[in-house]
Amino acid sequence: MWIWIVLIAIVVVIAIALVASYNRFVSQRNLIRDAWANIDTELRRRYDLIPNLVETVKGYASHETGVFEEVARTRSMASGATGSPAEQAAAEGPFVAALRQLFAVAENYPDLKANQNFLALQAELSNTEDRIQTARRFYNNNVMDYNRRIQSFPSNVIAKNFHFTEEQFFEIPEAVREAGPPRVDFSTPSGSGTPSGGAGTTAGGATPPASGATGAGAPPPSSPGGPSSSPPN
Amino acid sequence: MAARRFDISGMWWVLLGLALVTGVVVLGFARARKRTSALRMMATQFGLVYSPVVPMDVRVLPLPLLSQGDKQRFRNLLQGRWGGIDLQEFDLAIVEEEGRSSSTKWYSCAVAQVPAWCRTISIHAENPVARAAERVLEHHVPFESEQFQRAFHVDCADDRFATAFVDPRMMSWLLAHGRGWTFEVAGCWALCYRKLVRPEELVPLLGTLRGFTDHIPRVVSELYGLDGAR
């Protein structure tokens, strides 16, 4: 009799664990979808800023048509990408490169760098980049946690049986990462100033370290979901 | 005769007990006075203001530690501008009562305002056993740094906020300077604390609080505002 009670208790415990594990997979997957939607919202916010930025630069550098066309083309490609995180990231690469070109143009026009509208757009773009970076980290951290559960025992049994598959990280392409984010320096009045920190934009690169803070300066920790990592196979 | 000897012996025990209690009281009083005078000296040295009493507006800050336990006792407030920030430092006793017995834990706390409106978040040293259990059974806030997750535990009801708050730069700073300290943030207040430290050890406490507030990412105020309106 006791043996049966113990066996039934074990079966009940296992059943509860299975249900809890399944439900956690579902809530994690929904969280990842929500996080991806949040990234999309922030990216749209950035795409919406670009036409105004281009118009402002055009007012000072109207002959740089090649740069403007490239920004418009790549923006259209990036905003039109509706596929997977990998596709979106691939479309972001040329767009960020074109933006970098646009800011390089701005470097050569001191009057443009002093333009209040341009400064406001630049600040807004910088804030948006921070928001994208945060949304991307949230998404990648949750993907990392979800994929870890899919790979590890005993949750992989549930994942296999209920077809929970690994999600993709949202990572920017290697070339864009190596080139660094587009930046413009407003600290020097001359147009030949070296590009430097401040209000740079990035499609998901690491947060630049701020100066003057106590204990700052240590390198950021390695980031499995961040720019220096690759998704698990 | 035997009864009389017993009486004398009993009286000696009573006297010894009284002397012991008096000694403990006097020693405790002397230690408290010594701490008070050292804190006064610290206050003068660093341009802070000392007060033996902690005002009500500090006691009712929305930080979880300040409402822990069955009773809280506050004393020895140092306040003013230090290292470029306005802060308050005080001793806090958390009293836990169980039936007729009670236990008291003393902490040294430092609070400062932060330029963002924050969800309630607590960052403290990770317990490996609790971490293993949590990974299997409960929800936790995932972070990209395994090293950080091994060293610290982050409690926050809002994962998105926790991710924004603890960015790679904050993680890096916590790993380098935050070990041994507990941090709490709620509303526009940040608290840094550890078990009661000697007056000469208060500078690391204040420095750690300043470092912590310096490393709060700008994006937190961008996403969550400055005044709780969002």
Any idea where the domains of chain A sit in the sequence? 2-179
Phi, psi of B122 (to 5 degrees): -130, 135
Name the residue in chain A with its Cα closest to that of B145: A223
Are residues B201 and B194 in contact, defined by beta-carbon separation less than 8 angstroms? no
Here the tokens at position B227 are: 């005044």
Task: Calculate the CA dihedral of residues B61, B67, B72, B76 and round it to 10 degrees.
Answer: -30
Phi, psi of B77 (to 5 degrees): -90, 130
Q: Smallest CA–CA separation between A151 and chain B, in Å? A: 14
Residue B136 pLDDT: 63
Interchain contact, A207 vs B207, CB within 8 Å: no
DSSP run (H or E) holding B45:
helix B2-46
Helix crossing, A2-58 with A85-107: angle to 10°? 30
Q: How far is CA B5 from CA B2, B9, B14, B19, B134, in A?
A: 5, 6, 14, 21, 64
Of B137, B144, B164, the CB nearest to A134: B164
Name the residue in chain A with its Cα closest to that of B174: A215
> Which residue has tokens 């990234």?
A39
A23 touches B: beta carbon within 8 Å: no
Read off the pLDDT of residues B23-76 as tens digits, 9 standing for 90 and up. 888 888 888 888 888 889 888 888 999 999 898 888 889 999 999 999 999 999
A222 touches B: beta carbon within 8 Å: yes
Q: How far apart are CA B120 and CA B112, in angstroms?
A: 15
Q: What is the DSSP letter of A148?
A: H
Q: Which of A228, A214, A101 is nearest to A172 (CA)?
A: A228
A139 touches B: beta carbon within 8 Å: no
Residues from chain A that touch B139, judged by Cβ atoms under 8 A, are 24
Interchain contact, B139 vs A206, CB within 8 Å: no
Residues from chain B that touch A131, judged by Cβ atoms under 8 A, are 219, 222-223
- The residue ranges of DSSP E strands in chain B, in sequence order, are 49-51, 71-82, 85-98, 101-125, 152-156, 182-195
Burial class (CB in 10 A: 0-12, 13-18, 19+), A83: exposed
Q: Which of residues 36-65 of B touch A (CB under 8 A)?
A: none
Q: Smallest CA–CA separation between B159 and chain A, in Å? A: 8
Q: Above pLDDT 70, what percent of chain B?
A: 91
Mention the CATH class of domain A2-179.
mainly alpha
Are residues A111 and A188 in contact, defined by beta-carbon separation less than 8 angstroms? no
- How sure is the predictor about A228, in pLDDT bands with cuts at 50, 70 and 90? very low
- How sure is the predictor about A124, in pLDDT bands with cuts at 50, 70 and 90? confident
- What ipTM, to 2 d.p.? 0.78
Of B142, B160, B168, the CB nearest to A221: B168
Mean per-residue pLDDT over chain B, rounded: 88
Here the tokens at position B39 are: 């804190």
Please spell the DSSP secondary structure of B197-218, one letter per residue: --GGGHHHHHHHHHHHHHTS-H
Interchain contact, A215 vs B146, CB within 8 Å: no
Are residues B119 and A198 in contact, defined by beta-carbon separation less than 8 angstroms? no
Read off the pLDDT of residues A165-215 as tens digits, 9 standing for 90 and up. 888 888 876 555 554 445 544 444 433 333 333 333 333 333 333 333 333
Read off the pLDDT of residues A2-20 as tens digits, 9 standing for 90 and up. 899 999 999 999 999 889 8
Residues from chain A that touch B148, judged by Cβ atoms under 8 A, are 221
Interchain contact, A220 vs B171, CB within 8 Å: yes
Q: Which of B98, B70, B77, B220 is nearest to B156 (CA)?
A: B220
- Residue A4: alpha-carbon gap to chain centroid: 54
Are residues A98 and A71 in contact, defined by beta-carbon separation less than 8 angstroms? yes
Q: Which of residues 145-164 of B touch A (CB under 8 A)?
A: 145-148, 159-160, 163-164
Are residues B153 and B130 in contact, defined by beta-carbon separation less than 8 angstroms? yes
**In the predicted model, is pLDDT for residue A230 greater than 50?**
no
Name the residue in chain A with its Cα closest to that of B160: A138
- Could you tell me the mean pLDDT of each successive run of 10 residues in chain B, 230 residues long? 61 88 87 86 89 88 92 92 92 90 92 92 84 67 90 92 94 93 94 92 92 93 79
Residue A183 pLDDT: 52
DSSP-assigned beta bridge partners for residue B97: B102
Q: Which of B136, B144, B230 to mutate to test the interface with A (most CBs of A within 10 A)?
A: B144
Are residues B158 and B138 in contact, defined by beta-carbon separation less than 8 angstroms? no
A131 touches B: beta carbon within 8 Å: yes
- Residue B17: alpha-carbon gap to chain centroid: 35
Read off the pLDDT of residues A57-114 as tens digits, 9 standing for 90 and up. 888 877 878 888 888 888 888 888 777 888 888 888 888 888 888 888 888 888 887 8
Residue A208 pLDDT: 33
Size of interface A-B (CB pairs under 8 A): 95
Q: Smallest CA–CA separation between B51 and chain A, in Å? A: 28
Q: Smallest CA–CA separation between A53 and chain B, in Å? A: 21
Here the tokens at position A179 are: 């080139």
Residue A198 pLDDT: 33
**In the predicted model, is pLDDT for residue A123 greater than 80?**
yes
- Residue B158: alpha-carbon gap to chain centroid: 23
Q: How far apart are CA B196 and CA B217, in angstroms?
A: 29
Here the tokens at position A13 are: 């415990």
Please spell the DSSP secondary structure of A37-91, one letter per residue: HHHHHHHHHHHHHHHHHHHHHHTT-TT-HHHHHHHHHHHHHHHH--S-HHHHHHH
Residue B8 pLDDT: 67
Residue A126 pLDDT: 86
SS3 B40: helix
A153 touches B: beta carbon within 8 Å: no
Here the tokens at position B69 are: 């336990």
